[in-house]
Amino acid sequence: MDFKQIVSHCKEYGFIFQSSEIYDGLAAVYDYGPYGVELKNNIKNYWWKSMTQLHDNIVGIDSAIFMHPKTWKASGHVDAFNDPMIDNKDSKKRYRADVLIEEYMDKLDAKVEKELKKAAKRFGESFDAAMYKETNPRVQSYLEKKDAIAARLAQAMTDGNMEELKAMIIDLEIACPVSGSRNWTDVRQFNLMFSTQLGNIAGEEGKLYLRPETAQGIFVNFLNVQKTTRQKLPFGIAQIGKAFRNEIVARQFIFRMREFEQMEMQFFVAPGTEMEWYNYWKDMRLKWHHAVTPAEKLRFHDHDNLAHYANAAVDIQFQFPFGFKELEGIHSRTDFDLSQHQELSGKKLQYFDPERNENYVPYVVETSIGCDRMFLTMISNCLMEETVPDADGKESKRIVFKVPAALAPVKVAVLPLLKNKEALTEKARAVHQLLNVHFPCQYDEKDAIGRRYRRQDAIGTPYCITIDFDTLEDNTVTIRERDSLQQERVGIDQLVEKIAPKVSMAGLLAKVLE
Ligand code: GAP
Q: 448-457, pLDDT tens digit by residue?
A: 999 999 999 9
Best residue among 264, 317, 326, 365 to mutate for probing ligand 1, ranked by most atoms within 8 Å of CB: 326
Instruction: Tally Cβ neighbours within 10 Å of residue 278.
Output: 24
Residue ID of nearest Cα to ligand 1 atom 15: 370
* Residue 261 CA, ligand 1 centroid: distance in Å: 9
Report the nearest atom of ligand 1 relative to the CA of 258.
23
Report the nearest atom of ligand 1 relative to the CA of 315.
14
Determine the Cα–Cα distance for residues 316 and 263; give it in Å rounded to an integer: 14
Section 74-102 average pLDDT: 93
Domains of the chain are 37-65+214-401 (3.30.930.10), 82-189 (3.30.40.230), 404-513 (3.40.50.800)
Determine the Cα–Cα distance for residues 369 and 377; give it in Å rounded to an integer: 12
* Residue 327 CA, ligand 1 centroid: distance in Å: 8
The answer to whether 464 touches 425, Cβ cutoff 8 Å, is no
Residue 369 has pLDDT above 90, yes or no: yes
Alpha carbon of 329 to those of 154, 311, 317, 334, 494: distances in Å?
A: 17, 13, 9, 15, 43
The answer to whether 229 touches 237, Cβ cutoff 8 Å, is no
In this structure, the residues whose C-beta lies within 6 A of any atom of ligand 1 are 213, 215, 245, 247, 256-257, 260, 262, 264, 326-329, 366, 368-370, 372-373
Alpha carbon of 186 to those of 85, 87, 167, 183, 338: distances in Å?
A: 8, 8, 9, 10, 36
Report the nearest atom of ligand 1 relative to the CA of 257.
24
Single-letter amino acid code for the residue at 214: T
Residue ID of nearest Cα to ligand 1 atom 18: 370
Write down the pTM of the prediction.
Answer: 0.90
pLDDT band at 141 (very low <50, low <70, confident <90, very high): very high
Q: Can you list the positions of beta strands (E) in 54-129?
A: 58-60, 82-87, 94-96
Write a three-state SS string for 429-450.
HHHHHHHCCCCCEEECCCCCHH
User: Nearest-CA neighbor of 231 among 59, 49, 53, 52?
Assistant: 59
Burial class (CB in 10 A: 0-12, 13-18, 19+), 309: buried
Residue ID of nearest Cα to ligand 1 atom 22: 256
pLDDT band at 130 (very low <50, low <70, confident <90, very high): confident
Residues 6+ apart with CB under 8 A from 419: 425, 445, 446
Does an H or E element contain 54, and which? Answer: none
Report the nearest atom of ligand 1 relative to the CA of 373.
16
State residue 349's pLDDT score: 95
Residue ID of nearest Cα to ligand 1 atom 4: 213
Residue ID of nearest Cα to ligand 1 atom 6: 329
Residue 201 has pLDDT above 90, yes or no: no
Best residue among 373, 374, 375, 380 to mutate for probing ligand 1, ranked by most atoms within 8 Å of CB: 373
Residue ID of nearest Cα to ligand 1 atom 27: 370
State residue 395's pLDDT score: 87
Determine the Cα–Cα distance for residues 259 and 247; give it in Å rounded to an integer: 9
- Eight-state DSSP code of residue 241: E
Report the nearest atom of ligand 1 relative to the CA of 326.
14
- Eight-state DSSP code of residue 15: S
Residue 308 has pLDDT above 80, yes or no: no
Q: Can you list the positions of beta strands (E) in 281-353?
A: 298-302, 312-320, 323-334, 351-353
pLDDT in tens, 30-70: 999 999 999 999 999 999 999 999 999 999 999 999 999 99
Count of residues making up the chain: 514
Average pLDDT over the chain reads: 94
Determine the Cα–Cα distance for residues 70 and 78; give it in Å rounded to an integer: 9
Best residue among 254, 368, 376, 380 to mutate for probing ligand 1, ranked by most atoms within 8 Å of CB: 368
Does an H or E element contain 36, and which? Answer: helix 34-48
Residue ID of nearest Cα to ligand 1 atom 9: 368
Residue ID of nearest Cα to ligand 1 atom 16: 370
pLDDT band at 159 (very low <50, low <70, confident <90, very high): confident
Report the nearest atom of ligand 1 relative to the CA of 213.
4
Alpha carbon of 103 to those of 14, 146, 485: distances in Å?
A: 32, 11, 42
* Residue 243 CA, ligand 1 centroid: distance in Å: 9
Determine the Cα–Cα distance for residues 462 and 503; give it in Å rounded to an integer: 8
State residue 431's pLDDT score: 97
Residue ID of nearest Cα to ligand 1 atom 26: 370
Q: According to DSSP H, which parts of 241-315 are helical? A: 274-290
**Helix 162-171 vs helix 137-159: crossing angle, to nearest 10:** 160
Section 10-37 average pLDDT: 96
Single-letter amino acid code for the residue at 198: L
* Residue 81 CA, ligand 1 centroid: distance in Å: 13
pLDDT in tens, 340-353: 999 999 999 999 99
150-165 as b/e: b if 16+ CB within 10 A: eebbeebbeeeebebb
Residue ID of nearest Cα to ligand 1 atom 2: 368
* Residue 78 CA, ligand 1 centroid: distance in Å: 17
Does an H or E element contain 306, and which? Answer: none
123: β partners: none
Residue 305 has pLDDT above 80, yes or no: no
First to last CA, the chain: 31
Residue ID of nearest Cα to ligand 1 atom 5: 329
Residue ID of nearest Cα to ligand 1 atom 17: 370
Determine the Cα–Cα distance for residues 12 and 451; give it in Å rounded to an integer: 16
pLDDT band at 16 (very low <50, low <70, confident <90, very high): very high
Q: Please, which contacts does 14-21 make with residues 24 or more away whose CB atoms are closer than 8 Å?
A: 14/459, 15/39, 15/379, 16/253, 16/254
